[in-house]
Amino acid sequence: MLSALLKKCRWTQKHLLGIRDLSREEILSVVDLAAGLKKEKDAGAPLKGRRLLNFFAESSTRTKTSFGIAARALGLEVLDLSPAASSLTKGESLKDTALTIESMGVDFAVVRHSASGAPHFVAGKIQGSVLNAGDGTNEHPTQALLDSLTIRESLGKINGLRIALVGDILHSRVARSNLWAHAKLGNEVTVVGPPTLIPRHIDALGARVSTDLDAVLPEMDVVMMLRMQLERQQAGLFPSIMEYHRFWGLTRERMARLRPGAIIMHPGPMNRGVEIAAEAADSARSVILDQVANGVLIRMAVLLLLDRCS
């Protein structure tokens, strides 16, 4: 069953560094494989005897846990180079960390780092496959893949849709991975937020730009709210939480502007009362918990495909 599913997949990547590197067929292969895995009761430990190392140089609980669950479901041995135990605090260079990982003989290294491009750097130093679990303000590819699976499950298709990404586009690797994904999949993405949090030239990633959430909402099939980090206010990028909520929050009042069937997504963790109100987060339109569940399946699918090409 699993091998039949895998056989249909197209995949040529040794690493998963970014959605930017994937073809439309590769994105769809991951989504299809994850959807197939959902029907399987037991994956049967096909990767038994191999080793996965989580290297999270930036704090994370849900993504790291999700990778761990996915890896164990496939029979992988999971190691953790957690920030407190790692050499980061001792000032070890990323090069030495990568060489250490290599000498531990791991098949998969899951890397999260505050510097954009760090997973690419590690990939150049080790024999195994690198999975980017979020690098700086660049990409978070498994998030965009799990978002794509969730959208397809909810709406029955993953092309020809209108998707709004709302919030801090400037710093969001989730936004950027989704932009790459939906440009390839044939969905139209509008980025919405304070003008100070929308990077110039974002149209280079195929995005439409708006600063008027009220005007955009009625046209959207998918509304993806992004986490607003409070330090952005201290950096002078917007005046206050209340003003942000007033103009760019998904409030109870704005829920009425959504078209029938439109879904609400959020990569988590949510700031309730800031970018999203309870009436939105907990509504029947919300697929936020589906996103979490699908995260494990997507990460299993990616590991299986990378294993095939390693």
Partner 1 sequence: MTTLLIQGGRILDPASKRDETGDLFVADGRISRARPKGKPDRTIDAKGRWVVPGLIDMHVHLREPGREDKETIASGCAAAAAGGFTSVASMANAGQTIDTATAVVYVKARAAETGLANVFPMGAVTKGLGGRELAELGTMAEAGAVAFSDDGQPIMDSEIMRRALEYAARWDRTIVSHCEDATLTRDSVMHEGRVSVELGLRGWPSAAEASMAARDGMLARMTGGRVHIAHVSARETVEVVRLMKSMGVRLTAEAAPHHLACTDESLRTYDSRFKMNPPLRAREDVDAIVAALADGTIDVIASDHAPHTTDEKERELAACPNGVVGLETTLGVVLTDLVAAGRVPLMRALEAMTAAPARILGIDRGTLAAGATADVTIIDPKLRWTVEPSDFHTRGRATPFAGRELVGASTATIVGGRVVFERA
Q: Which chain residues interact with partner 1 by CB under 8 A?
A: 194-196, 200, 211, 233-234, 236-240, 242-243, 246-247
In angstroms, give the least distance from the CB of 243 to partner 1: 5
Helices (H), the chain: 2-7, 24-39, 62-73, 94-103, 118-123, 141-155, 173-185, 213-216, 231-234, 241-248, 252-255, 278-281, 288-309
Nearer to partner 1, 37 or 197 (CB): 197
- Please, what is the angle between helix 288-309 and helix 62-73, to 10°? 50
CB nearer to partner 1: pick between 211 and 229: 211
Q: Which is nearer to partner 1, 242 or 309 (CB)?
A: 242
- Minimum CB separation of residue 164 from partner 1 in Å reads 17
Size of the chain in residues: 310
- Shortest separation between residue 223's beta carbon and partner 1, angstroms: 19
Distance CA 249, CA 288 (A): 16
214: number of Cβ within 10 Å: 13
Q: How far is the CB of 247 from partner 1 (least distance, A)?
A: 5
Cα–Cα distances in Å, from 239 out to 143, 245, 246, 248, 286? 29, 11, 11, 13, 28
Cβ pair 130, 142 in contact under 8 A: no
With a CB cutoff of 8 Å and minimum separation 6, the contacts of 16 are 129, 130, 131, 132, 141, 142, 302, 306
Nearer to partner 1 (CB atom), residue 61 or residue 234: 234
Nearer to partner 1, 121 or 247 (CB): 247
- Minimum CB separation of residue 226 from partner 1 in Å reads 18
Adjacent-strand bridge partners of 276: 250, 272
Backbone torsions φ then ψ of 13, nearest 5 degrees: -95, 140
Choice between 41 and 201, CB closer to partner 1: 201
C-beta of 170: minimal distance to partner 1 in Å? Answer: 11
Q: For residue 51, how many other CB atoms are within 10 A of its CB?
A: 17
Shortest distance in whole angstroms from residue 25 CB to partner 1: 39
> Which residue lies nearer to partner 1 by CB, 186 or 239?
239
